[in-house]
């Protein structure tokens, strides 16, 4: 028995040594392969996928503003706290508009601008209020998604008007364009005008409120250009907004339907690996496989936390563009950077991403009447 056990032990030791040698060899082979592998590159060629849906039906359009119209200020998300908005209010008044504050504009409930019910009621009431011609969000932060199941989408659809905001307000854009079938505006909020703001932002905000014409090609701030990531031509209804918010809606009844759409994405203050994670979620959810094209806006302050050998933001954005197999461009002056264009969501647009590296986004449908 002792001899048998000794024999088994010897065989076990021998097998362990062999296994260790094989594992070591595999690790060496894997390490060598990794060292020679190309940087983040999609295994799929950047070509048009079959089965992409045509653009959706035309959404209801709001009325453009006229001098003397009233802009309702609502707080769908984080509270204003003790922030001084007097300069911002002066700016709106100097444009020739009156303002009306919803209770949520000054309310505090934890870190929210009032309870979920209060914030939702303010949005519902301002849409129904015929004395209010447009709705300007106080600020972003967090909280807009918490009111989505409390909105009266049918009533909102009966009173289409501009709802303007960005960042966390992406949740409202997604819900209102899909549930109420109205065009919304991804644009500067009241908080955008409480301090310094660029001439570009102010100019296009003021023009955007009154424009009833087809906007045409998005104009660029001086010294900035839009660039091709994946060349090609695409068109469809423009949707999207903040990457984190788009990602947070996946799996909910308010998730973005990308069929027949151009997907616009922007972000602020996220490390590249987090952007990678969020884009991977959009890929796994099927959204990136639905869209006709991708338009990257500002990724403001998103280049920190990159160690030696890590994938860069540029590599990550290019990877998911190629993986989606659609035309992709970047550099749209929309998002959290100082230059923030007045961008309609829910209207038709055309993107041209040239092989020469130059790109343009053409808004070829009027968004207001």
- Structural domains of the chain in order of their starting residue, each with its CATH number: 70-210 (3.40.50.10740), 216-363 (3.50.30.60)
Point out the catalytic residue in the list 173, 186, 204, 336: 336
Q: Which residues contact 225 (CB under 8 A, 6 or more apart)?
A: 331, 358
- 26 phi and psi, to 5 degrees? -65, -40
- Say whether 42 is catalytic: no
Point out the catalytic residue in the list 235, 266, 298, 360: 266
pLDDT of residue 39: 54
Point out the catalytic residue in the list 167, 180, 192, 285: 167
pTM metric for this prediction: 0.87
pLDDT of residue 196: 83
Q: At what angle do helices 313-324 and 272-285 cross, to 10 degrees?
A: 10
Distance of CA 26 to the CA centre of its chain: 42
Lowest-confidence segment of 13-17, 298-302, 315-319 by average pLDDT:
13-17
The residue among 23 and 235 whose pLDDT is bigger is 235
pLDDT of residue 40: 61
For tokens 């701030």, the residue is 221
pLDDT of residue 348: 98
CA atoms of 106 and 143, how far apart (whole Å): 15
Q: Which residues contact 59 (CB under 8 A, 6 or more apart)?
A: 177, 181, 182, 183, 237, 346, 347
Residue (of 129, 132, 71, 64) closest to 97 by Cα position: 71
- Say whether 336 is catalytic: yes
Query: pLDDT tens for residues 321-363?
Result: 999 999 999 999 999 999 999 999 999 999 999 999 999 999 9
Query: pLDDT tens for residues 21-62?
Result: 434 443 343 334 334 445 565 444 444 443 444 545 689 999
pLDDT of residue 58: 84
- Say whether 167 is catalytic: yes
Query: pLDDT tens for residues 268-311?
Result: 999 999 999 999 999 999 999 999 999 999 999 998 777 888 99
Are 59 and 177 in contact by the 8 Å Cβ rule? The answer is yes
Distance of CA 357 to the CA centre of its chain: 23
> With 90 as the cut, is the pLDDT of residue 109 above it?
yes
Element (H, E) at 70: strand 70-74
pLDDT bracket for residue 160 (50, 70, 90): very high
């Amino acid at each position: 028995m002792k001899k048998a056990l000794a024999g088994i032990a010897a065989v076990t030791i021998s097998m362990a040594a062999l296994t260790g040698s094989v594992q070591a060899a595999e690790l060496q082979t894997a390490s060598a392969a990794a060292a020679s592998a190309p940087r983040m590159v999609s295994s799929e060629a950047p070509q048009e996928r079959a089965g992409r849906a045509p653009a959706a039906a035309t959404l209801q359009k709001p009325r453009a503003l006229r001098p003397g119209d009233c802009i309702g200020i609502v707080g769908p998300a984080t509270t204003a706290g003790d922030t001084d908005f007097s300069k911002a209010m002066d700016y709106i008044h100097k444009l020739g508009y009156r303002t009306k504050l919803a209770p949520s504009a000054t309310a505090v409930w934890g870190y929210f601008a009032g309870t979920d019910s209060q914030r939702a009621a303010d949005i519902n009431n301002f849409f129904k209020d015929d004395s209010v011609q447009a709705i300007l969000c106080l600020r972003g932060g967090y909280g807009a998604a918490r009111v989505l199941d409390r909105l009266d989408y049918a009533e909102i659809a009966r009173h289409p008007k501009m709802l303007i905001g960005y960042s966390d307000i992406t949740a409202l854009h997604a819900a209102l364009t899909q549930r109420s079938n109205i065009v919304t505006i991804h644009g500067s909020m009241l908080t955008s005008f409480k301090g310094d703001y660029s001439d570009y932002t102010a100019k296009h905000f003021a023009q955007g409120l009154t424009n009833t014409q087809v906007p045409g090609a998005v104009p660029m701030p001086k010294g900035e250009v839009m660039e091709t990531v994946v060349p090609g031509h695409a068109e469809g209804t423009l949707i999207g907004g903040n990457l984190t918010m788009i990602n947070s809606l996946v799996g909910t009844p308010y998730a973005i339907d990308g069929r027949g759409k151009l997907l616009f994405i922007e972000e602020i203050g996220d490390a590249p690996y987090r952007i990678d994670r969020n884009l991977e979620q959009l890929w796994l959810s099927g959204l990136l496989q639905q869209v006709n094209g991708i338009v990257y806006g500002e990724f403001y302050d998103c280049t920190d936390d990159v160690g030696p050998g890590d994938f860069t933001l540029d590599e990550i954005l290019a990877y998911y563009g190629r993986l989606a197999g659609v035309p992709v461009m970047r550099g749209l002056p929309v998002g959290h950077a100082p230059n923030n264009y007045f961008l309609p969501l829910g209207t038709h647009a055309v993107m041209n991403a040239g092989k020469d590296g130059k790109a343009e986004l053409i808004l070829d449908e009027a968004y207001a009447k």
